[in-house]
Amino acid sequence: MDTVKQFYDKTIYDACKGSTLIHGSLCHIGYNTIVPSMNLELLNPAEEAMFPTLVITNKKVFDELLTKYISIAKYYYKDENLNENELLSLLFVDATLDDFNNPIKFISKKINFIMDETLSAYSEETDLGYSSILDGDICVKCVPESAFNETPKSLVITLRNGNNEYKFPTVRLGISDNKAYIYTMQKEKTKEDKTDYEKKINRSLFKIGEGFNLEGNEELKDVSASFVVAANITVGLLERNGITEIEIPSIRMVRWNNKSASYESRINKAKNTDEIEELRNEENMIQANLVDKFLRTFNRVCYHNSGLDISSYPYETDSSMHIINEGKLESNNELLAETYQIASNQQYKKSM
């Protein structure tokens, strides 16, 4: 079965039901589909199913790009042994509502995320320079990601001092048409026993508090220091490589709904009300971190850095946050000033 036939005969019907099998496991991937040229409307009838709707207005171009994407994805993800329908099912997991309304642009982005070589120079770990504040070399590496994750590549940031290391959150991002799309940041699960070096770095990271005025900015207080510094380094590295426009997608309904379905399954198996409440609280915290705290992290980076401007917030022009880096930044925070200068390889001032 060719790609186009597979998509229209199976993938979108599975999506309308809200579930499909991938590697033998049930994945809750759900969306509606409307194709006017085919007089096709696949709409999930359940009122509680908050499915986004894929609208395909130019079927010819859509089908061409769909075929091209699957051809590229089959090779890129070849080690994961995913069949064609599985790759098609995963395609729209991280689409925003805007992406569902303009799937041609979305698939073009997905192709570019794989093919873009802006960060290819960092396929081997690269030492960007020494941070005197953190007492370590800031090293970065661009690594391939799983088809199940938000982007096909991610940026791994590590602080090294001899045999000591500190892992910053991994940044999952894609680059298309000279714009960076940053989808998420994820830190490895912390070990119970931290090394002395990790403890030292965690203390040093609290220096992101310098220059922060709580009055009138209460919503920017709730951030994780390691995430703020990792975001700051990422923006600097992007500038070093000529990328000054950044988009932070917000709610991605398919992934959101899949996580919710996973928690509902666990809640249904819970043995008592305390366990149910604990799972509900955990779900709410994770969902809040996925969007609110993630956006707040970049908002905090912009707060400290003059010349790094938020041009629009989610749902002002579309569902994403948009950031413009005007260059020649000044920071009111010494730690962010130093790490940005190292990452961007630009002169960067600490403002008074």
DSSP-assigned states of every residue in 214-282: -TT-GGGS---HHHHHHHHHHHHHHHHTT--EEEEE---HHHHHHHHHHHHHHHHT-SSHHHHHHHHHH
Residue 291 has pLDDT above 90, yes or no: no
Lowest mean pLDDT among 63-67, 78-82, 257-261: 257-261
CA dist 226 and 134 (Å) reads: 12
Q: Mean per-residue pLDDT for 243-249? A: 97
232: Cβ contacts below 8 Å, ≥ 6 apart: 301, 305, 336, 339, 340, 343
Tell if the pTM clears 0.85, that is, is over it: yes
Question: Which pair of structure tokens corresponds to residue 174?
Answer: 């894609």
Measured at the alpha carbon of residue 290, what is the angle toward residues 327 and 168, in degrees to the nearest 5?
A: 60
326: Cβ contacts below 8 Å, ≥ 6 apart: 244, 307, 308, 309
- Name the band, by pLDDT with cuts 50, 70 and 90, for residue 81: very high
Residue 35 has pLDDT above 80, yes or no: yes
Q: How many residues appear in the chain? A: 352
- Name the band, by pLDDT with cuts 50, 70 and 90, for residue 176: very high
Residue 352 has pLDDT above 50, yes or no: no
What does residue 35 show for φ and ψ, rounded to 5 degrees?
-130, 95
What does residue 101 show for φ and ψ, rounded to 5 degrees?
-80, -20
In three-state secondary structure terms, 10 is helix
DSSP code for 190: P
Measured at the alpha carbon of residue 64, what is the angle toward residues 38 and 248, in degrees to the nearest 5?
A: 100
Contact at 8 Å (CB) between 304 and 327? no
**DSSP-derived pairing of the beta strands 164-167 and 32-35:** unpaired
Residue type, 200: K
pLDDT digits (tens, 9 = 90+) for 184-215: 999 987 666 789 999 999 999 999 999 999 89
Percent of the chain with pLDDT over 90: 77
CA dist 206 and 201 (Å) reads: 9
Question: Which pair of structure tokens corresponds to residue 12?
Answer: 């979108």
* Closest listed residue to residue 234, CA positions, set 169, 322, 166: 169
Contact at 8 Å (CB) between 52 and 254? yes
Q: What is the mean pLDDT of the chain?
A: 91
The tokens 């994805």 sit on which residue?
73
Q: Give the residue extent of every domain in the chain.
A: 3-115, 120-252+285-350
E-strand ranges in 292-348 read 305-312, 320-331
In three-state secondary structure terms, 42 is strand
| Most distant CA pair in the chain, distance | 64
What does residue 263 show for φ and ψ, rounded to 5 degrees?
-70, -40
pLDDT digits (tens, 9 = 90+) for 295-329: 999 999 999 999 999 999 999 999 999 999 998 78
